[in-house]
Structure 1
Amino acid sequence: MKKIEIFEQAMIVGNYDVVVCGGGPAGFIAAIAAARGGASVAIVEQYGFLGGMATAGLVAPISRFNLKGRRMIGGIPWEFIERLKEMGGAIVENPPGNISFMPEKYKLIAQRLVLEAGVDLYFHCYLTGCLKKDNEITHIIFHTKEGMQSITGRYFIDCTGDADLAWYADVPMQPKSNPLQPASLCFCLGGVDTAKLPLAHHNLDTTNMHDVSIQNVLNELREKEGIPLFGGPWYSSMIEEGYLAVNMTRFSGDMTKVTDMTNAECTLHEDVFRMVELLKEHVDAFKNAFLVTTAPQVGIRETRRIKGAYILTGQDYVEGRRFPDAISRGCHPIDIHHADNTRQNVTFLEKSPYIPYRTLYVPAYPNLLVPGRCFSADETASASVRVQASVMGLGQAAGTSAALCVKDNCSVDDVNVESLREKLISMGAILD
């Protein structure tokens, strides 16, 4: 493959204590936590809104906050849910604590909380690299309509989901799963008779919550007619009557590769229209349905994962192993989707796992924290923690740690873990 060399100057447009790359569920929570801890904070986000896979991917519901009816993730993440409820943008579905939501209100409440905390937002900025001295990141580089720009910082939090900043910084990565879990293009339907779809509300505690009857119909059609690959299907109420978020398309590939991502977008946009036709034809509740919108991008379940100071294993996770540096909990089932068929492997948890702080950093990189689905866990543990409520908990821990590092002028692996845990508990995190 031929290469060209490009030399371009980047205007330095900001200097902060903490720079968060990515404004998804982990990112905006991390930014709020760091700012409330006294740090000057910026978020660099490729879209013009916050929420990541919740709003850019239409991934619903926000799953999940409870295990066996007990809240396991608290603090700023739950404050966000309460604010969303107050605006009429969320329904809390117990006992699992799944949250049906309106994406537009999610965007607005996330934005309000971030701005109230004093965080600076850099929207429509696409991260393209970083500068570092030894292994300490000094600048991030991103492209804008004004050309290449840069921000300097003391500490950086990679909430890109795909570990983009960590990858640019040459952070060691774990081998990728082969195959990776598939991507899905979620979509919104109107005109649905939601009263005929009890699974539109995720208030069951020990089921996969997919529609088995429709799955059986689609499997028969796949055998007879060769309809597109699918998963589930799963639905989620979008609060307003007749509107439903649907997750059922499936594409196998590596979403860090431009060609795979492009093929996924093109293929799944075709598949969405075919799936809507099938639902209208074969399911009474959908007979008057119409496509409102597809997500701005495909939803991504799995790509890169860092090789941190500790790799959380599936065995750790299922057994609920306690860690002295636990900074968050898990409660979502282990959920591994098959890339080449319609199945998935689901393991329901008997106890809430603990997630150690050591999974958020690599010792040789003194000013980088990596929460979100690309944190340091094997493919089994990450298949649970990758969901929204769980990564919000990791983001809260990372932002809180970064603020403590600013105050103590220490590296991320030298932070006082007891002080970190005490601060998180005082904020409402559940670590017992």
Structure 2
Amino acid sequence: MHFDVVVVGGGSAGVAAAIGAANSGVRTILIEKNPYFGGAATHSSVLTVCGLFAQQEPLLQVVGGVANQFLDTLQRLGAYPGPFRNPGSGNVIVPLDAEATKYALDQCVVQAGVTPRLHCNVTNVVISDGSIQAVQCFDHSGSFEIEAAAFVDASGEGDLTSLAGGKVRFGDDEGQVQAATLVMRIGGVPADASLSRQAFADAVHLAKAAGDTVLTKEKGMAVRLPGSGHILAMFADEVVNGLDSASLTKAEMSARNQAWHYLDVFRSHMPGFEQAYLVQTGPSIGVRETRHVKGHYTLTGEDALNGVRHEDVVARGGWPVEIHQPGQPAVYRQIKDRAYYDIPLRSLDVEGIENLWSAGRIIDCDPVAFASSRVMGTSFGTGHAAGVAAGLYAAIKHADIRDVQEELRRQGAYI
């Protein structure tokens, strides 16, 4: 097959990249291994989009473009209740409905003229003179190649970059990664039941004091989802190498064991949870971190925390630094003035491979900046930028920053 742009990975970054490229006027294919788009939102039930809004008052949206198309589609489906500010932390999220999210992303992709290819795995690349010529793919019918002029790695794991021989690192400078969490969806809880963080912590503490050694985290997060009223609970932490199937297998089975223990604890010690039941786990454990791609500029924690501006800005980061260590409550560090920082194109442009851009949680950043930029809302922004850069390169064999910025603005991005 022949396309202008190939995007690998159909999470928020990949969907935004594919739509951004297609809206630039080039033929684009979006490859995803799962049976639906959405990445962590739909496959790990992380049904809270972080990073579309800064945390300041009054409310400030910092990611637009494709993200706005997605929100508009949700709204038409009656599935966008608007942003929600956590009364405790003050952080602003957008809660999602899983099925509406799947359908909305389908609609956005199709309406942009993107060719979707689900159930498809990239197994290798064809590279020549420092450029990718094609990706080799596999589905149940066998192997095939897709040729293109430009490519976007939105795989979440840096798979395409790694296969192409690009520079990557695993985790932080010491090879450590943030904790992975298996999300639980809980039903049967009345609307007036308290979701106090301290009440959850007290319940888990009682269970641990009684001898339950399975549970990892006392202070997790729980939010009520729109529509269904289900509780989204993030407690079951695991240490996992998200690139390794053996490690993932062990972690997911262990986390499912935790989930059932947590359910018993909540039933026993949380008022209103007496008839609670487990609607779903996962399906996949929520892996926060694996590979990082080497670009032409490493976004730093100082950039993020100080709200630094860059001349080659192509996206904005508005989520605070959020660090997850296994079994520990999340540690937050706010951006200056609870505003936002700029993400430069240099951090998306993959070093050593002329026609490849990265998007989402794999962009070039240090561990502190990563703890902010990895979230789904910001990934909409970096994905959109990577897709536009790839689209322009495919059209004219050059992605000048001014042209990229102009096209992003034309498509409604906030930069």
State the TM bucket, normalised to the shorter chain.
over 0.9
* Cα distance in 2 between the residues matched to 1:17 and 1:82: 28
**Offset of residue 167 of structure 1:** 0.9
Task: State the match for 1:424 in structure 2.
Answer: 408
1:213 to 184, 189, 199: 199
Q: Offset of 1:194 from its aligned partner?
A: 3.2
User: In structure 1, how many angstroms separate the alpha carbons of the residues matched to 2:396 and 2:228?
Assistant: 51
Question: What's 1:192 paired with?
Answer: 189
Letter of the aligned partner of 2:180 in structure 1? A
Alignment-derived partner of residue 262 in structure 1:
249
Give CA-to-partner distance per residue, 1:56-80, whole Å, 9 cap, x none.
0100211132221111111110221
Instruction: Give the letter for the 2:234 counterpart.
Output: N
Aligned match of 1:5 = none
Deviation at 1:237, TM superposition (A): 2.8
Q: For 1:388 and 1:242, how far apart are their aligned partners in 2?
A: 22
The whole-number CA distance in structure 2 between the counterparts of 1:231 and 1:38 is: 50
CA RMSD of aligned residues (A): 1.7
Partner of 1:399: 387
Paired AA for residue 40 in structure 1: R
1:201-238 deviation line (CA, Å, top 9, x unaligned):
xxxxxxxxxx2331243234335422321264212333
1 CA distance for matches of 2:320 and 2:257?
A: 30
Is 1:45 aligned with 2:32?
A: yes
Q: Does 1:299 align with 2:296?
A: no
* Matched-pair contact (CA < 8 Å) for 1:16–1:152: yes
Q: Distance in 1 between matches of 2:92 and 2:200?
A: 25
For the 8 Å contact 2:220–2:329, the answer to whether it is kept is no
Answer yes or no: is the 8 Å Cα contact 2:200–2:218 preserved in 1: no
Residue type at the aligned position of 1:131: V
Write the mapping of 1:407-422 to structure 2, written as runs, cut at 5 A. Answer: 407-410=395-398, 415-422=399-406
Matched, 1:315 2:310: no
Displacement after TM superposition at 1:428 (Å):
2.3
Instruction: Give the equivalent residue in structure 1 for 2:7.
Output: 20
1:347 aligns with 2:333: yes
Query: Identity across aligned pairs (percent)?
Result: 27
Amino acid at match of 1:80: F
Alignment of 1:52-63 (within 5 A): 52-63=39-50
Deviations 1:343-397 (A, max 9, x none): 3321122231111110002232111010110110011101111111000000111
Q: Give the corresponding residue for 2:161.
A: 166
CA distance in 1 between counterparts of 2:187 and 2:351 reads 49
Contact 1:101 1:237 in 2 (8 A): no
Question: Corresponding residue for 1:8?
Answer: none
Q: CA deviation at 1:153?
A: 1.0
**Do 1:64 and 1:98's aligned partners in 2 also have CA atoms closer than 8 Å?**
yes
Describe how 1:327-346 pairs up with structure 2 within 5 A. 327-339=314-326, 341-346=327-332
**Aligned-partner residue type, residue 57 of structure 1:** S
Going from structure 1 to structure 2, the CA distance change for 1:242 and 1:80 (only over 3 Å counts) comes to: closer
Superposition pairs for residues 207-246 of structure 1, below 5 Å?
Answer: 211-225=197-211, 226-230=213-217, 232-246=219-233
Residues in 2 aligned to 1:132 and 1:344: alpha-carbon distance in whole angstroms: 41
Contact 1:135 1:169 in 2 (8 A): no
Give the Å deviation of 1:159.
0.6
Q: Deviations over 1:112-151 (max 9, x none)?
A: 1101111111111122221211321112122211122221
For the residue of structure 1 that corresponds to 2:104, the secondary structure is: helix
Structure 2 residue runs without a partner (length 5+): 86-90
1:130 aligns with 2:125: yes
**Letter of the structure 1 residue corresponding to residue 230 of structure 2:** Y
CA distance in 1, matches of 2:71, 2:225: 15
Give the aligned partner of residue 180 of structure 1: 177
**Letter paired with 1:157:** V
Q: Is the 8 A contact 1:71 1:97 kept in 2?
A: no
- After alignment, is 378-387 or 82-91 more displaced? 82-91
The 8 Å contact of residues 83 and 94 in structure 2, kept in 1 or not, is answered as yes
Paired residues, number? 402
| In structure 2, distance between residues paired with 1:262 and 1:135 | 36
CA distance in 2, matches of 1:82, 1:428: 13
Q: Tell me, what secondary structure is at the counterpart of 1:373?
A: helix
Amino acid at match of 2:364: S
Q: Which runs of 5+ in 1 are unaligned?
A: 1-13, 200-210
Structure 1 residue 282 corresponds to structure 2 residue 272: no
Letter in 2 for 1:353: Y
Q: So what's the TM-score if we normalise by structure 2?
A: 0.93
Instruction: After superposition, give the CA deviation of every residue in 1:258-300 in whole Å (9 maximum; x if it has no partner).
Output: 2111111111111111111111111113221111122221111
Alpha carbons of structure 1 residues 80 and 308: separation in structure 2 relative to 1, 3 Å: same
Runs of 4+ with >3 A deviation:
94-97
What is the Cα deviation at residue 195 of structure 1?
2.7
* 1:369-380 correspondence runs (5 A): 369-380=357-368
Q: Aligned pair in 2 of structure 1 residues 43, 175: CA closer, same or farther (>3 Å)? A: closer
Q: Does residue 1:81 correspond to 2:71, yes or no?
A: yes
> Do the aligned partners of 1:232 and 1:247 also contact (CA within 8 Å) in 2?
no
- What's 1:91 paired with? 81
Correspondence for 1:207: none
CA drift of 1:111 comes to: 0.4
Partner deviation per Cα, 1:3-56 (whole Å, 9 max, x = no partner): xxxxxxxxxxx2100001011010011111111110101011101100000000
Letter in 1 for 2:203: V
Q: Whole-Å Cα distance in 2 between the matches of residues 216 and 131 of structure 1?
A: 55
The residue number in structure 2 matching 1:357 is 345
Alpha carbons of structure 1 residues 286 and 101: separation in structure 2 relative to 1, 3 Å: same
Q: Distance in 1 between matches of 2:289 and 2:169?
A: 12
Q: Which amino acid aligns with 2:27?
A: S
**Kept in 2: contact 1:20–1:156 (CA 8 A):** yes
How far 1:166 moved relative to its partner?
0.7
User: Does the CA contact (< 8 Å) of 2:29 and 2:114 recur in 1?
Assistant: yes
